[in-house]
């Protein structure tokens, strides 16, 4: 077992990592630990580990770290383990993982696994990325892009709320055209293409989503403007986004999003600008589950 540790993810991460390592030791496991030094490292480390024949690579960080490790393991027989240390940890919530280090260690030691389909995004500039939870275009990506890392470290998830309040009046809400499975295009101010039901922690966004199945739920926010963005933000913790007027959710296997100067985020990290084409990854990922 190799643990890929992002020392910049979340708060109190070193202490949480060492608690997990202690718990693993008590369970008779002594994993290797590799620390990332910057973006892209987790992917390289995971790919090299899979090439060495390591069968379990654990992402110790947030959703961004998980996505990078997943990309590194793609196409290999190695399984992905989760040690949630991030700020939002949406995938951990989605899969019903207890976020204490001891419980995560227990899951890793147990070795029970299931399959999760990642999403694959291709950008106009040729970049390709894998995401495990969601890809957003529009307002939420503008919030992610503008989020100050120090603010995030200091306030955790509350930093996203502060940044959303700042961003709502100044974001321009340019229109996004969404083409689902090559059908009639829809126009929206923001779009979230999601594998999972949850968003920004454990808030319900797309009730019909199933991470274990191929395909996506596409959440279209038709109304732009600060009032609509703030209303969506207020509805989120109440689980009411799917019922907001102006929000429609559609299933799709292939999604093409276009728009001028529209920012994109994938699993909570900035991912550039539209256009982007999204479909299932080539193979499902094996993930350790409770
Ligand atoms: N040593 C490093 N220094 C700076 N950035 C790093 C380093 N290692 C990894 N990263 C980058 O940090 C990004 C954010 O990490 P991650 O998403 O895991 O944590 P988080 O943002 O706190 O959690 P969450 O996504 O759950 O909110 C990753 O996508 C990765 O590219």
**Cβ(97)–Cβ(86) below 8 Å:** no
ipTM of the complex: 0.94
Residues 107 and 174 in one domain: no
Type and span of the H or E element at 17: helix 13-26
Q: Which residues contact 72 (CB under 8 A, 6 or more apart)?
A: 42, 43, 44, 45, 46, 47, 48, 49, 50, 57
What span, in angstroms and rounded, lies between the C-alpha atoms of 140 and 278?
17
Residues 267 and 132 in one domain: yes
First to last CA, the chain: 17
Distance 213 CA to ligand 1 centre (A): 26
**Cβ(108)–Cβ(81) below 8 Å:** yes
**Per-residue pLDDT reduced to its tens digit, 169-195:** 999 999 999 999 999 899 999 999 999
* pLDDT class of 89 with cuts at 50, 70, 90: confident
In a domain, 288, yes or no: no
Kindly give the number of the ligand 1 atom that is closest to the alpha carbon of 157: 27
**Per-residue pLDDT reduced to its tens digit, 229-256:** 999 999 999 999 999 999 999 999 999 9
* pLDDT class of 11 with cuts at 50, 70, 90: low
Given 111, 141, 170, the domain boundary residue is 111
* pLDDT class of 155 with cuts at 50, 70, 90: confident
Q: What angle do CA 91, 286, 277 make, to 5 degrees?
A: 65
Residues 94 and 197 in one domain: no
Residues 130 and 196 in one domain: yes
- What CATH number is associated with residue 97? 3.40.50.10330
What span, in angstroms and rounded, lies between the C-alpha atoms of 112 and 25?
19
Kindly give the number of the ligand 1 atom that is closest to the alpha carbon of 67: 29
In a domain, 286, yes or no: no
Given 59, 86, 111, the domain boundary residue is 111
**Per-residue pLDDT reduced to its tens digit, 22-51:** 999 999 999 999 999 999 999 999 999 999
Given 111, 141, 161, the domain boundary residue is 111
pLDDT attached to residue 10: 65
Residues 105 and 196 in one domain: no
Residues 138 and 231 in one domain: yes
- Three-state secondary-structure class, residue 280: strand
* pLDDT class of 152 with cuts at 50, 70, 90: confident
Distance 95 CA to ligand 1 centre (A): 20
* pLDDT class of 21 with cuts at 50, 70, 90: very high
Tell me which of 6, 68, 141, 147 to substitute to probe ligand 1's pocket, judged by most ligand atoms within 8 Å of the beta carbon. 6
Range of the domain at 277: 119-281
pTM of the predicted model as reported, rounded to 2 decimal places: 0.95
Strands lying side by side in the sheet with 79-84 = 32-35, 2-5, 56-61, 79-84, 285-288, 113-116
Residues 82 and 13 in one domain: yes
């Amino acid at each position: 077992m190799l643990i890929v540790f992002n020392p910049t993810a979340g708060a109190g991460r070193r202490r949480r990592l060492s608690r997990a390592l202690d718990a693993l030791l008590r369970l008779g496991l002594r994993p290797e630990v590799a620390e990332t030094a910057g973006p892209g490292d987790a992917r390289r480390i995971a790919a090299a580990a899979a090439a060495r024949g390591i069968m379990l690579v654990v992402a110790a960080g947030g959703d961004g770290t998980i996505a990078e490790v997943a990309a590194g393991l793609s196409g290999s027989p190695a399984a992905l383990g989760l040690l949630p240390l991030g700020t939002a940890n949406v995938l951990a919530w989605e899969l019903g993982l207890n976020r204490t280090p001891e419980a995560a260690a227990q899951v890793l030691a147990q070795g029970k696994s299931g399959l999760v389909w990642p999403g694959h995004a291709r950008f106009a500039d040729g970049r390709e990325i894998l995401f495990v939870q969601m890809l957003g275009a529009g307002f939420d990506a503008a919030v992610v892009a503008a989020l100050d890392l120090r603010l995030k470290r200091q306030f955790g998830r509350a930093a996203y709320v502060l940044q959303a309040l700042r961003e709502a009046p100044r974001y321009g809400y340019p229109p996004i055209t969404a083409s689902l499975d090559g059908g009639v295009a829809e126009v929206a101010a923001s779009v979230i293409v999601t594998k999972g039901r949850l968003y920004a922690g454990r808030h319900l966004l797309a009730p019909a989503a199933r991470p274990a199945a191929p395909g996506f739920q596409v959440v279209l926010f038709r109304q732009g403007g600060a009032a609509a963005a703030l209303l969506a933000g207020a509805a989120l913790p109440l689980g009411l986004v799917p019922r907001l007027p102006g929000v429609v959710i559609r299933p799709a296997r292939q999604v093409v999003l276009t728009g001028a100067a529209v920012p994109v985020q994938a699993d909570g990290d900035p991912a550039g600008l539209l256009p982007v084409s999204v479909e299932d990854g080539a193979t499902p990922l094996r993930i350790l589950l409770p």
